Homo-oligomer: A and B are copies of this chain.
Amino acid sequence: MAKNASRKSASRLSIDDRTADILNAARQVISEKGYEKILLADIARQAGIVEGTIYRYFQNKRDLLVKVAELWFGEQLSADSHLDGISGTQNKLRHVAWRTLSIIKREPVLSRFMLMELRPDPNYRSTPFFELNRHFTRETLQICKDAIATGEFHADVSPALMRDMLHGCIEHRTWAFLRGEGDFSPDEVAEGIATVVYRGMLAHPVSNQPAAALETLVARLEKVAERLEQKPPQVGRNNQLR
């Protein structure tokens, strides 16, 4: 009601510019405050506007934060996201795991934000993280189904379970990492996951021990044969194989 000669107004921007400003401000606040409380007041200040203005551009706080995550995560999906160039079941599994793990390693703040702030939300299903997860998850499922189709994998374990193992492991590892309980190397973890899952799913695992045992056995046999050839008859009790 007062006349407010002193009232300052931010310059008028296009919808897109202002939207971008707010998104950037939000992202910056998230980066700085980590997974601590994110205040609209902080975001508004950072964007050089007032809290109420945010509601012109976003339905509510959650809507804004979801959009931030969407954008941010989108940037992380680089060219190495698709599997097209990769052959071999184990290689594919490794790549899928590695891809997610590297994003997490590269952008811990984003990951923490999505996992801890966005995910526990009641209507999490409309979250970018959710969609992305579904996509990755479908991809992994397909790898497994393909391998079963060719007979490479056992059909006695459900593909969905294998997928849950792979992605569940990644997620579990991520929580620990985000909680500050130890670092991890995307390469190593991806290698480990792919190895165990692959071996565990194989229809006809290669056993190197029985082979090794046989190897010795054969060698011994061959020696016996040689001896037999050298000294014709004369076989005594010494020739016992064991």
On A, residues with C-beta under 8 Å from B are: 35-36, 115-117, 119-120, 122, 124-125, 156-158, 161-162, 164-165, 167-173, 176, 179, 189, 192-193, 195-211, 213-215, 217-218, 220-222, 224-225, 227-229, 231-241
- A217 near B214 (CB under 8 angstroms)? yes
A121-B207 Cα distance, complex, nearest whole Å = 46
List B contacts of A176 (CB < 8 A): 164
Contact pick for A196, options B125, B161, B206, B241, CB 8 Å: B161
List B contacts of A125 (CB < 8 A): 179
A189-B192 Cα distance, complex, nearest whole Å = 22
- A198 near B195 (CB under 8 angstroms)? no
List B contacts of A235 (CB < 8 A): 234-236, 239
List B contacts of A229 (CB < 8 A): 227, 231
List B contacts of A193 (CB < 8 A): 161, 165
Q: A200 and B203 in contact (CB under 8 A), knowing A169-B165, A217-B218, A224-B218?
A: no
